[in-house]
């Protein structure tokens, strides 16, 4: 097997793993969003303002997961595209 073929195989493997990871994170994001909504509803209106802090933390975490999913899709597409051009 040539080095180019090895590179192609590795790039396709990375692309597939990134795609699978993105799918797993997307599923996690759905469950996380549901749980976050429930938590926010349960603690809404606390006099200490902790509810706003927690809501912001959960929102920030949710956005980070979205960014990770998008980054994994970009990596997957980029690796697959490059491998197909070799």
DSSP string for residues in 6-29: HHHHHHHHHHHHHHHHHHHHHHHH
pLDDT for position 6: 97
18-72: per-residue pLDDT in tens? Answer: 999 999 999 999 999 999 999 988 888 777 888 889 999 999 999 999 999 999 9
The total of structural domains in the chain comes to 1
Give me the domain span that covers residue 14. Answer: 3-85
- Nearest residue to 4 (alpha-carbon basis) of 63, 65, 83: 83
pLDDT for position 52: 87
**What is the sign, positive or negative, of the torsion defined by CA atoms of 32, 34, 38, 44?**
positive
């Amino acid at each position: 097997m040539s080095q180019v073929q090895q590179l192609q195989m590795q790039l396709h493997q990375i692309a597939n793993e990134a795609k699978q990871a993105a799918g797993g994170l997307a599923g996690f994001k759905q469950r996380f969003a549901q749980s976050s909504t429930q938590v926010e509803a349960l603690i809404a209106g606390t006099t200490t303002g902790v509810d706003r802090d927690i809501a912001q933390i959960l929102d920030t975490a949710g956005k980070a997961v979205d960014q990770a999913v998008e980054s994994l899709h970009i990596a997957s597409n980029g690796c697959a595209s490059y491998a197909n051009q070799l």
